[in-house]
Amino acid sequence: MTDRRLTTHIHGWLLLLPAAVLLVAFTYYPAVASIWSSLHSTPKGARPARFVGLDQYATMVDDPVFWKSLVNNLLFALGTVPVSVALALLMALWVNGKIRGRTALRVAYFTPTILPMIAVANIWLFFYTPGYGLIDQITGLFGLPAQNWLGDRSTALPALMVVTVWKEAGFFMIFYLAALQGLSPSLREAAALEGASRWYIFRRITFPLLMPTTLFVLVNAVINAFRMVDLVVVMTRGGPDNSTALLLYHIYEVGFRYWDTGYAAALTTVLVGILMVLAVGQFVFLDRKVHYR
């Protein structure tokens, strides 16, 4: 029995080894390396990196672009996460019903998800182009003046939010649709026989049973909101006046444009810390409302 157990453990660890190697090589090691780099200066030419302690983090506190990017990212998350999740749930409820053309509707909702982000950015660049863009062409029919959506500080960030919601809602819809199809119809039928309204059934039965999916979707939506960079690079490059500079874009500029790898590592460490706090917070606050079957 001892030899059999030992053989079983060895087989199990051998099966886990490929995934463990990838996890250590591409997750844990980069995270530790970033923290280590954040405590050192950036090597330049023949001058090697030297230990500077928390100097990079002190620089961050006095960096106005960092605070602007952080505020922009928080606003971006607040504007995209609730809307994306709510819209995904509404679309899933709609296409889960017995409606004509249900398959075509599902494909239409999911199509933006499979498009590359670069293609999406260029499509919406045409929509937002002042004067002859699709949006200005439509608003021009009502006599409204042309608007530089991406060139105005008050509209640039909301314009990016719209693109993000359009891109991600269909992706989250798939998870809700799978969860809805996994629910037993007997629960809704029993409630309907007791005279419960459709709103009461959704609020008291359907939505509570969807909480595990909601938690999963929320965590992914928050992570996506804080790792958004390609849309900013293509559409606005952080402008105008850093009004669309998100935190990851600021890290990209510091690390690859100005080649300050030490400061970029410190920014990355802070970003990972923020994501960890937000993820743990979501699990803690929603834990009592999540019921796993």
Q: Taking all residues of the chain, what is their mean pLDDT, rounded to a whole number?
A: 89
d(CA 44, CA 66): 23
Q: pLDDT by residue (tens digit) across 184-208?
A: 888 888 888 888 888 888 888 888 8
- Per-residue burial over 158-190, b if 16 or more Cβ lie within 10 Å, else e, is ebbbbbbbbbbbbbbbbbbbebbeeeeeeebee
Determine if the pTM surpasses 0.75: yes
pLDDT at 127: 93
Q: Does the CA dihedral 280-285-288-290 come out positive or negative?
A: negative
Q: How many residues does the chain have?
A: 293
Task: Assign 224 a pLDDT band (cuts: 50, 70, 90).
Answer: very high
pLDDT at 106: 87
High-pLDDT (> 70) share of the chain, %: 97
Q: Which residues pair with 47 in a beta bridge?
A: 44
pLDDT at 204: 86
pLDDT greater than 80 at residue 286: no
pLDDT greater than 80 at residue 116: yes
The full DSSP string for 266-281 is HHHHHHHHHHHHHHHH
pLDDT greater than 60 at residue 1: no
- Among the residues of the chain, which ranges form H helices? 2-23, 29-38, 55-61, 64-96, 102-114, 117-128, 134-140, 156-181, 185-193, 198-201, 207-209, 211-226, 230-235, 247-252, 261-286
Residue-range domain boundaries for the chain: 65-288
Q: Averaged over 242-255, what is the pLDDT?
A: 94
Looking at 133-147, 229-243, 277-291, which range is the least confident one? 277-291
Q: Averaged over 268-292, what is the pLDDT?
A: 83
Q: Please give the single-letter amino acid code of residue 78.
A: L
Q: Averaged over 232-248, what is the pLDDT?
A: 92
d(CA 94, CA 167): 18
pLDDT at 292: 60
pLDDT at 143: 84
pLDDT greater than 80 at residue 288: no
Class of domain 65-288: mainly alpha
Q: pLDDT by residue (tens digit) across 10-63?
A: 888 899 999 999 999 998 999 899 999 999 998 887 788 889 989 999 999 999
The encoded tokens of residue 118 equal 């670069």
Backbone φ and ψ of 71, nearest 5°: -65, -45
Task: Assign 291 a pLDDT band (cuts: 50, 70, 90).
Answer: low
Rg (CA), the chain: 24
Q: pLDDT by residue (tens digit) across 142-161?
A: 888 888 999 999 999 999 99
pLDDT at 280: 86
DSSP class of residue 144 equals P
Q: pLDDT by residue (tens digit) across 27-41?
A: 899 989 999 999 999
d(CA 92, CA 115): 20
Q: Averaged over 239-252, what is the pLDDT?
A: 93
